[in-house]
A and B are shown apart, each in its own frame.
Chain A
Amino acid sequence: MLDTAKTRWHPIAASYDLPFRHVFHGQLLGREFAVWRADDGYINVWENRCLHRGVRLSIGINDGRELKCQYHGWRYSNRTAGCTYIPAHPADAPARTITNRTFAAVERYGLVWSAEEPQGEVPELPGFAEGELLTLRGIAVNAPADAVAARLRSYRFQPTGQIDGSDAKVTVEAANDFSVALRAVEGSSTTLAVFFVQPVDSNRSVIRGVLEGRAEGAVRMAVLHHHNDRLSKLRDVVEREAVARPAPAPLEPVIERVSPELAEMPEETKHGRKATIRVEVARKWQAADGIAGFELRPIRGLLPTFQPGAHIDVHMPNGLIRQYSITNGPGESESYVIGVKLEKESKGGSICMHETLRQGDVLAISEPRNNFPLRRDAVKTIFIAGGIGITPLIAMAQALHNQNLAFDLHYFAQNEAQLAFPEKTSGLGGALKPHLGLTPEATGAKLREILANYQPGRHLYLCGPGPMLEAARNVATEAGWPEAAVHFEYFKNTNKIDDSSSFEVALARSCVTLKVPAGRTILDVMREAGVDMPSSCEQGACGTCLATVIEGEPDHQDVYLNDAERKSGTKIMTCVSRAKSARLVLDL
């Protein structure tokens, strides 16, 4: 009876099976895997199934950073297997629950090891040094793994130093249901060979052999052929025996609909802004004149999937909370890289990041949120960044660059020394267009030049200081850009908030009516009543606490909504905006 323990490590591929930009089709105990190596070397072992329509991801495209399904183009990130883009919903950020199941991967002895619920370590091979061994060609066998392993005990081969000899003595040094260690000795030559039998399914296996010691050139080829020939003969024998027996039923792995961790509702809290992730400042450096770069690595596990345009809340040692965009390119999922400009009139946030925080410090951050999603169906995309506004746009530009989509990145700054993250922007080639040291008038002229000739299918993404954003939005409107094609993100809301009104808020789904007095926000009052609402900047800039208005007239005071959204009267930012009518009904 085949041991189907999910806790046991098995090889599922050889290292040579995972060249860059390829997806290997693996299987263990009936469960299929899409296995791919990202350009950063990370080996992804995923359920071989797109979460959308169940198509095998092993026929998908490995672009070095993400895996794209062939069917409807859903993209999944390196490491996390979280969905980063759904072409049919170009304006939306995919929900975090759209995350494929991942499995462990360890590369050792020229083999890639995995298990559904691994316990302990990959088997130790005493005397086998990495790089000092020879991985044989995997031999697929249509027979149960234990039958193959039993037959391997009587496998005969020549030691590497006597490959042309014929009477090596072979002894079994160790054996179990899934592996056999054999030593061949002839004269002074001796070779230890370990054969692992991968249980692909109840009646299918792969023999994966590893020999101690390196061999080069013609000897290496002779050894590889020697084992290939003999293992193929062994396979033929085992297969003949297997055909004579009734075939066992195929194993039927259970495909989880969604992982328990993603399925559960987040805990209710009163304080609202959650910092659920602990990260270490792995690196702090000067990303440009006046701008500090921070690389944030998870203390344990993986960081959640992010999409271009997403930001995180950073909870600082001094108690302040600030939002910073993730600058990472697609698939760069090992750490988050953010850039922080030292503000002259810092209220403590940027000063703390620049002066207090040091490499090695631990920070609490929120999960990434994306209220500035990037469409990838534009004929051409124009990015306009002012100063530190480059950070979300760098992530976006890298995503389009990776997919070979057309874009220009206009980067306004005082001088060359202020251009941040040159190591990221240099990869963008001619698409990066710096504009340095321009006066406000010259900036206006340049914006008019960039935004002239609007053509359908173009999209514009803006991020920078308030006055520049206002100017760019006005220029775009004059040049005929429709509002739906102009996307923007403010650093902060500089509007003076008028909180003198008092009104009533009815939450239609929660069946409660709350009074919002002057001096308090909708968000505050809702939280006090136990309605959990996500928020981030709490000043009307980031878009996190957006609610849908069913009835009543909102009094907009944010800088997140565009004019069309404001006029529609169907959306409201609950952190700063209020009501002009006596009553607001929200879809909450």
Chain B
Amino acid sequence: MITLYDYELSGNCYKLRLLMSMLGVDYKTVPIDFYPGREHKSEWFLKINPLGQLPVIDDDGLVLRDAQAILVYLASKYDPSGTWYPRDEAALLGEISQWLAFADGITGTASAARLHDALFYDFDVEAARVGAHRLFRILDEHLWFGEQEGRIWLCSAAHPTIADIACFPYIMLSEEGGIPRQDYPAIRRWCDRVKRLKGFMVMSGVFPAGPAKAA
């Protein structure tokens, strides 16, 4: 059984809950009082993750940290369809890694702005917002041209990958950091598509989409 060291309001924890829900993987959570308790910096938690960051999973003794790394692990181990992280497709794996790194960029900007606004972190919020808008412009352009060519997910596959899951949460939560998505209509449409995936679940601040039109 997988144990997820979890914080409800964390987008990085949410992306793991999301993928596990879509894969139908059972897991239990250990809630960590990230705010205001700062439990992720407590002595006992630092022994689990010396970086003092969430999320962390423990899968029968295998302890892993870093949301993107855990997505790779979960998809590799628990996705019988082999589509979320297709191990044998070199080009696609390269693309996925590229967008996983991009997701880290979103965490460093959009999530930072949200931590500033919602949890009172002492960050340069203007710099964080400018950085997020720069990334969102790049992503919106990528997704718009994808739609024109019939590619509806981040990577050039006919199905979603963990790259989509990795980028989704902090984009959806960006308004909580004062970063509107009004200027990124292709991102907004892609968000609808992610929400319509089987097994999709919400968190605080992430709303569901209605059903797609029957073909």
Contacts and interface: CB of A to CB of B under 8 A. Distances in A.
Interface of A: 13, 16-17, 19-22, 24-25, 27, 39, 59, 61-64, 68, 70, 137-138, 140, 204, 206, 220-221, 224-225, 228, 232, 404
Interface in B143-173: 144-145, 147-149
B129 to A, nearest CB: 12
Interface string B187-200: 01100100000000
Given A221-B148, A221-B149, A225-B145, A20 B213 contact: yes
Contacts, number: 53
Contact of A138 (B181, B185, B211, B212): B185
A212 to B, nearest CB: 19
A137 B144 contact: yes
A61 B209 contact: yes
A62 B196 CA distance: 13
Given A16-B147, A19-B189, A221-B148, A64 B141 contact: no
A469 B144 CA distance: 57
Contact of A224 (B148, B207, B213): B148
A21 B141 contact: no
A63 B210 contact: yes
B204 interface: no
A137 B137 CA distance: 12
B210 A62 contact: yes
Interface string B129-144: 0000000000001001
Nearest to A140: B183
A22 B189 contact: yes
Q: How large is the interface on B (under 10, 10 to 19, 20 to 34, 35 or more residues)?
A: 20 to 34
A21 B213 contact: yes
Contacts of B209: 21, 61
Given A25-B185, A221-B145, 19 more contacts: A16-B147, A20-B212, A20-B213, A21-B210, A21-B211, A21-B212, A21-B213, A22-B189, A61-B209, A62-B210, A63-B210, A70-B207, A137-B141, A137-B144, A204-B183, A206-B183, A220-B148, A224-B145, A228-B141
B132 to A, nearest CB: 14
Nearest to B210: A61
A24 B185 contact: yes
A25 B208 CA distance: 17
B182 interface: yes
A228 B148 CA distance: 13
Contact of B213 (A24, A39, A221, A225): A39
B44 to A, nearest CB: 39
Contacts of A27: 182
A59 B183 CA distance: 14
Nearest to A13: B185
A197 to B, nearest CB: 14
6 contacts: A21-B211, A21-B213, A27-B182, A137-B144, A204-B183, A206-B183
Contacts of A140: 183
Contact of B185 (A17, A221, A225): A17
6 nearest CB pairs, A to B? A140-B183, A61-B210, A20-B213, A25-B182, A63-B210, A70-B207
A64 B208 CA distance: 15
Contacts of A232: 141
Nearest to B183: A140
Interface in B66-110: none
Contacts of B141: 137, 228, 232
Contacts of A22: 188-189, 192
Contacts of B212: 20-21
Contacts of A25: 181-182, 185, 188
Given A22-B192, A59-B207, A70-B207, A64 B185 contact: no
A200 to B, nearest CB: 8
Nearest to A61: B210
Nearest to A206: B183
A451 to B, nearest CB: 32
Given A25-B182, A140-B183, A63 B211 contact: yes
Contacts of A220: 148
A528 to B, nearest CB: 51
B201 to A, nearest CB: 16
Contacts of A225: 145
A68 B210 contact: yes
A330 to B, nearest CB: 13
A140 B182 CA distance: 10
A198 to B, nearest CB: 11
Nearest to B180: A25
Contacts of A204: 183
A22 to B, nearest CB: 6
B145 A24 contact: no
A7 to B, nearest CB: 24
A24 B207 contact: no
